[in-house]
Amino acid sequence: MPTIGERSRRQFLKFLSASPLLAAGTIEALAGEGPANPMPGVKLPDPIIWAPLKTDNVIKSPAAAINVFDFEPACRAAVPPAHFGYMASGIDDETTLRADREGFLHFQLRPRRLVDVSKVDMSTEILGVKYSSPIVIAPTGGNVFFHPDGEVAVAKAAKAGDHLQILSTMTDYSVEDVIAARGAPIWYQLYPTNKWEVAEALVKHAEKAGCLAVAVTVDRVGGRNQETLFRLIPTDTRDCNACHDKTSLKTALSRRPMFDGVDLSGLRGTEASNLTWDFIKRLRATTKMKIVLKGILHPDDAARAVAEGMDGVIVSNHGGRQVDGAIATLEALPGVVEAVDGRIPVLLDSGVRGGADIFKALALGARAVLIGRPYVYALGIAGRDGVPGPVHRPADEVELDGITGRGVHAVHDQAGQDADDHRLPRVAGQVGAQPVRPGRQVHGVVQHAVREDVMPQPRQDVVFLANALFGPFDRKAMIVGEGLDPVLIIGGAAAQHLFVHRRDADDLTEEVHRLLGPRQAAKITMKCGLSSDRQRSRDCRTTG
């Protein structure tokens, strides 16, 4: 007769073998090996539940794209490896890069019905200027890495869709050329550096060229470990030194026209590790342009921005490129919006891909959203003709699926009304005055709580299995406590199942009571098999 452990393992493996994701080759794709990925050893930066499962049949033109995620693997195949790595990289383990996407799964929309949406208004107003779309072209450096026309091609696409464009300090074309191509004033993104005179020269140049606002990046305070980039550089057979002379900062920036004639002496890089509110005050007294702070995640910083006379804030974590383990921007947005309290506009950056993402951000109070990587990937595929795809497609999704499907007339009608927080509830235990919050039942499935004060390190084989089947392992999706070993919730976009190996189901029930509270635990049905000797197993599915 099989032992309890053998029976549990068999049941568990039987469940896994029936998974459609397992049949789809997810494990091979996530590992970057096998037929599902034509580039061994190179993982897709976006979690596998969003990226195409099969990357061997990439699109040949932007018109063939089904969604925004089709552009990334096509760009990977079209541009030099190091150039792709520069744009695709996050930082360190890229947990922030993944969190930005996962954050959009934590909020759900509550549509309104019986509303006339035969005519909708996609326009929005930002700092006194009306644009046809709430989608903003995010500042991205090195666009010529992907196409010779670089930022000029992007500006022409922005003009076609009447999008606000924010130009990076690291532009390969002059701000004058980009404004001419856009046919209207743009914003200028500033890397302040550690030298005031450099920041002053850059800002005065942008103001003289006709920029409406300066978006000061406040989160670029040091270097970064871009592992995806560093892994791809050795695979690039070109002589990178021919274009990238890193003998000194001056030679390294020689292809960046914004630094022409600027004294860079004393600087080792463009980071701004000495940036404080004193700099912001000095900048306020230097320029007549509007000032927007890019990189705000904490409500207190947002409130301080208002107090210091800033004209707007951009909730951003630099696309997951600055601090690994940082909060997802959509998760940070509600707190920032509350702190600002309507006094200045709030924009959202990082992780935005589809129309539903945009609508959620707007519903949570953002005035507009920034899109970055997708348009660069499209630029690498087809130049100026490619850029409208990942920019206009989400706009169409907002209009067709977002506004009309959600039952509002215009993008500015639903702010703060239609996005509900359905995150897996966090339980911090009895820490200070914070109460333990019970798990929440969503769509008939109990979303289990987390005891962060007793959270164990998950077993690596469990982590790999969860990653391979359902996307990156989310520690927030575990129910943990003393004595639970091992514990696994298979989460992500799939149904939530809790598999626990326990010798005594009564103990497990007591643990659930302790973690979720008696009222919530009373609603839970434990479906556990019983052996002939009344020892209880083992593999328990917890449902609402």
> What's the pLDDT tens digit per position in 246-305?
889 999 898 999 999 999 999 999 999 999 999 999 999 999 999 999 999 999 999 999
More confident residue, 421 or 66: 66
Per-residue pLDDT tens over the stretch 357-407: 998 999 899 999 999 999 999 999 988 888 888 887 787 777 666 555 555
- 271/397 Cα distance (integer angstroms): 37
Q: Taking 70 as the threshold, does the pLDDT of residue 6 lie above it?
A: no
pLDDT digits (tens, 9 = 90+) for 34-74: 334 444 444 444 444 455 555 567 888 888 888 888 888 88
Taking the C-alpha atoms of residue 479 and residue 474, their distance in angstroms, rounded to an integer, is 11
Question: How far apart (Å, rounded) are the C-alpha atoms in residues 513 and 507?
Answer: 10
pLDDT for residue 208? 98
The set of long-range contacts for 160-164, using a CB threshold of 8 Å and a minimum separation of 24, is 160/388, 161/132, 161/133, 161/135, 161/388, 161/391, 161/392, 161/395, 162/131, 162/132, 162/133, 163/131, 163/132, 163/133, 163/135, 163/136, 163/137, 163/391, 164/126, 164/129, 164/131, 164/136, 164/137, 164/368
The predicted structure's pLDDT at residue 367? 96
For residues 89-110, give the mean pLDDT: 88
- Tell me what pLDDT residue 45 has: 45
Q: Tell me which of 82 and 20 has the higher pLDDT.
A: 82
What is the predicted pLDDT for the residue at 400? Answer: 64
Average pLDDT over residues 295-316: 97
Least confident of 134-148, 185-199, 235-249, 438-452: 438-452
Sequence ranges of the domains in the chain: 4-17+424-543, 95-419
| Amino acid making up residue 268 | R
Confidence of residue 483 (pLDDT cuts 50, 70, 90): very low
Q: Reply yes or no on whether the pLDDT at 221 is more than 60.
A: yes
Q: Which amino acid is at 527?
A: K
pLDDT band at 133 (very low <50, low <70, confident <90, very high): very high
The pLDDT of residue 343 is 97
The token duo for 519 is 């009222």
Query: Given pLDDT bands bounded at 50, 70 and 90, which one contains residue 414?
Result: low
Angle at 405 between CA 400 and CA 411, to 5 degrees: 70
**Average pLDDT score over residue span 134-154:** 95
> Under DSSP, is residue 313 helix (H, G, I), strand (E, B) or coil?
strand
**pLDDT attached to residue 183:** 98
Q: Pick from 276, 228, 249, 241: which is nearest to 90 by CA?
A: 228
Phi, psi of 86 (to 5 degrees): -60, -40
CB half-sphere exposure, 190, CA atoms < 13 A: 33
Average pLDDT over residues 200-209: 98
Say how many C-beta atoms besides its own lie within 10 A of residue 157's C-beta.
26
The pair of three-digit structure tokens given for residue 398, joined into one six-digit string: 């907002």
According to the 3-state scheme, what is the secondary structure of 20-53? HHHHCCHHHHHHCCCCCCCCCCCCCCCCCCCCCC
Strand-pair partners of 167: 188
pLDDT in tens, 111-120: 878 878 777 8
pLDDT band at 182 (very low <50, low <70, confident <90, very high): very high
What does the alpha-carbon distance between residue 414 and residue 393 come to, in Å, rounded to a whole number?
21
Dist. CA 108–CA 104, nearest whole Å? 8
Q: Which residue did the predictor score with more confidence, 428 or 17?
A: 17
Q: Token match 């076609």: residue?
A: 160
205, amino acid identity: H
Percent of the chain with pLDDT over 90: 41
Determine the pLDDT at residue 422: 46
pLDDT at 139: 98
Between 55 and 353, the more confident residue is 353
pLDDT at 403: 57
Helix, strand or coil for residue 108? strand
Question: Which residue would you say has higher pLDDT here, 55 or 140?
Answer: 140
pLDDT for the residue 528: 35
Q: Are 150 and 172 in contact (CB under 8 A)?
A: yes
382 contacts 61 by C-beta, under 8 angstroms: yes
Contact status, residue 410 vs residue 122, Cβ threshold 8 Å: yes
Residues with catalytic roles: 318
Interhelix angle 71-78/373-382, nearest 10 degrees:
50
Q: How far apart are CA 118 and CA 132, in angstroms?
A: 18
Alpha-carbon radius of gyration of the chain = 25
218, 129, 142, 256: which is closest to 182 by C-alpha? 129
Least confident range of 283-297, 306-320, 387-401, 517-531: 517-531
The span from the CA of 327 to the CA of 320, in Å, is 9
> Using CA atoms, how far apart are residues 112 and 109, in angstroms rounded to an integer?
10
Strand locations in 170-289 (E)? 187-190, 213-217
Q: Residue 301 has which token pair?
A: 């910083």
Mean pLDDT, rounded, of the chain: 73
Report pLDDT for 112: 78
pLDDT grade, residue 224 (50/70/90)? confident
- Judge whether 347 and 312 are in contact, CB under 8 Å: yes
User: What is the average pLDDT across 448-455?
Assistant: 30
pLDDT exceeds 80 at position 77: yes
Local structure of residue 427 (DSSP, 8 states) = B
Local confidence band at 18 (pLDDT 50, 70, 90 cut-offs): low
The answer to whether residue 427 scores a pLDDT higher than 50 is no
pLDDT in the model for residue 393: 76
Q: Does position 482 have pLDDT exceeding 50, yes or no? A: no
Superfamily of domain 95-419: Aldolase class I (3.20.20.70)
Per-residue pLDDT at 306 exceeds 80: yes
